[in-house]
Amino acid sequence: MPKGVPETVPDDGLTTRQRRNQPVLAVHTGPGKGKSTAAFGMALRAWNQGFDVAVFQFVKSAKWKVGEEAAFRTLGRLHEETGAGGAVEWHKMGEGWSWTRKHGTEEDHASAALAGWREIARRLAAEQHRFYVLDEFTYPLKWGWVDVDEVVRTLVDRPGNQHVVITGRDAPQALMDAADLVTEMTKIKHPMDAGRKGQRGIEW
């Protein structure tokens, strides 16, 4: 794909504009660092285009201070005050629909994860947002808490022009098959290999 030009153009009856404006389902998976970071980078571009952005974090603790969250909440306020960019919503576990691994039974976690997915599905059906980040959503799929086939059907059949980015290790094959964009982050080297813990400005 040199210089962003497709090597082949499908005979699908669509114009270049129609093909360009199709909604994208992206999956960032693999053992390497950067899956969520890349998704939030895409969300930043979406915000700049005036898209309504919604982030749903499925694993990180509600007490975990994520730098991107602070930045996007600030961008959301900027939109409210000046009209710049787009609206922003940020939902994370521990705030009514998700979980922490330290509290509750596995059944509680599974029920909360399913409730979170049901809310996302409702919003997709209503075309409530233009850009969604389902951060670390592959884990409840892997653990069997949310049905993969249901998720794939809902995402494939979503109406309008809603972009969705899903992050996390071990993405199910069915989800990757349905996606338009799949990136696997492969770890070559990491500071933790040398016994170094996460640090400010890098991990949060």
What Å distances lie between residue 62 and 6, 69, 103, 138, 200, CA to CA?
Answer: 41, 11, 12, 18, 18
CB 94 within 8 A of CB 88: no
pLDDT greater at residue 195 or residue 24: 24
pLDDT at 121 over 80: yes
Question: What percentage of the chain exceeds 70 in pLDDT?
Answer: 87
CA-based R_g, the chain, Å: 18
183 has a pLDDT exceeding 60: yes
Strands 25-29 and 163-167, bridge-based pairing: parallel
Helix, strand, coil percent values for the chain (each to nearest 5): 40, 15, 45
Q: Domain 26-153: which topology?
A: Rossmann fold (3.40.50)
Residue ranges of domains in the chain: 26-153
pLDDT for 102 equals 47
- Model pTM? 0.88
How does pLDDT run across 32-86, given as a tens digit for each residue?
999 999 999 999 999 999 999 999 998 755 555 678 999 999 999 999 999 999 9
Does residue 96 surpass a pLDDT of 50?
A: no
- Which of helix, strand or coil describes residue 129? coil
If one compares 3 and 38, the residue with the highest pLDDT of the two is: 38
Task: Name the band, by pLDDT with cuts 50, 70 and 90, for residue 97.
Answer: very low
* Selected residue with higher pLDDT from 74 and 190: 74
The region that residue 104 occupies, defined by phi over 0 for left and psi between -120 and 50 for alpha, beta otherwise, is: left
How far apart CA 49 and CA 69 sit, in angstroms, is 19
Condensed to tens digits (0 to 9), the pLDDT of residues 122-146 reads 999 999 999 999 999 999 999 999 9
